Amino acid sequence: MKDLIFPKSLKKGDQIAIISPAGAVEEQQLEKGLEMIRRKGFEPILGKHLFSKFSNGYPYAGTEKERISDLNWAFNNDDISAVWASRGGYGCQHLLKHIQLSKFKKNPKWYIGYSDNTVIQSFLLRNNFASIHGQTIKTSSFGVTGESYNLIFDILNGKKPSYTLEANPLNKKGAVEGQLIGGNLALIYALLGTTYSFNFKDKILFIEDIGENYYALDRMLMSLELAGVFRKIKGLIIGGMTYMGDEKDNKNYEESFDEFSYQLLADRLKKYDFPTLFGFPNGHIFDNKPLIIGANITLKIADQVQVKF
């Protein structure tokens, strides 16, 4: 495998393209995020269709043609130094067959996002480029910490993260090194069997999700099981499981690390012996600390947990 390509660090005054590859977004929802980018010394450049709207069973940020136009513009514009998704939602899968990387390959850029953006990050990794699984410009109803954004800017400035966490009782202890892949579980599941899926062999997989019924979570886990994913990976990191289960009956509806989801995961994974970390602060959660998809990490799970890039 070729060496992974990390985009170059940004410098003050560099331009960051803001695009909406999936769900529609309102201007006021991005005001704080855009101002933050300016305060950090960078210039946000808005995609032509950033605030477009197209309803087709879902409120998309424009038609597929409009959304891929903005993505390819941002990826292949030499004046742009990074690309930051306004939000997730649904719609990034529409774009995969149409992504162009001709100029991007000569001038790689950091792509920042999570949730539905997982499919674009899988595409980039398939082409040997790292990306940032971190908070979008639009904050959700549960908000996001200032540190979550600051850590993204640290990566953009060339600093790799290192995290020390308290142990979760469901953890499987051990130490492992390897390439980090993954993101939103529903999208990892949706890409299985396609040419855009992650390559799971000897990787450390990260998963998180939001708003899934427990049977849907189990169905996704069973698909990964039947596809041999858990026989291929050598480590697993589990992030937020937010708003999971039956909304009417689930007492943990507001919990970021849903207890029943975690127990379901633990039960499904008990026959595997790879190191497993529960409760990593990344996902649809308030404390959404960024991860670098494609980077090699050291994962040490003991009485205290270390995740080092």
pLDDT digits (tens, 9 = 90+) for 143-179: 899 999 999 999 999 999 999 999 999 999 999 999 9
Last residue of a domain, one of 109, 137, 156: 156
Q: Indicate whether 182 and 291 sit together in one domain.
A: yes
pLDDT above 70: residue 253: no
Tokens of 232: 């291929």
pLDDT of residue 82: 98
Measured distance CA(113)–CA(131) in Å, rounded: 9
Q: Indicate whether 181 and 248 sit together in one domain.
A: yes
- Does a structural domain hold residue 1? no
- Percent of the chain past pLDDT 70, that is, above it, reads 97
Q: Indicate whether 60 and 104 sit together in one domain.
A: yes
pLDDT of residue 248: 47
Among 300, 34, 39, CA closest to 172? 300
Last residue of a domain, one of 124, 156, 188: 156
pLDDT of residue 249: 53
As for how many domains the chain has, the answer is 2
Q: Indicate whether 132 and 196 sit together in one domain.
A: no
Contact 86, 60 (CB under 8 A): no
- Domain limits at 73? 15-156
Measured distance CA(134)–CA(194) in Å, rounded: 24
Q: Indicate whether 238 and 277 sit together in one domain.
A: yes
- Does a structural domain hold residue 26? yes
Last residue of a domain, one of 132, 156, 180: 156
Question: CATH number of the domain that 116 lies in?
Answer: 3.40.50.10740
pLDDT above 80: residue 255: no
Q: Indicate whether 170 and 143 sit together in one domain.
A: no
- Does a structural domain hold residue 147? yes
pLDDT of residue 86: 98
Number of helices followed by number of strands (H, E) in the chain: 8, 15
- Does a structural domain hold residue 75? yes
Measured distance CA(164)–CA(180) in Å, rounded: 17
pLDDT above 80: residue 188: yes
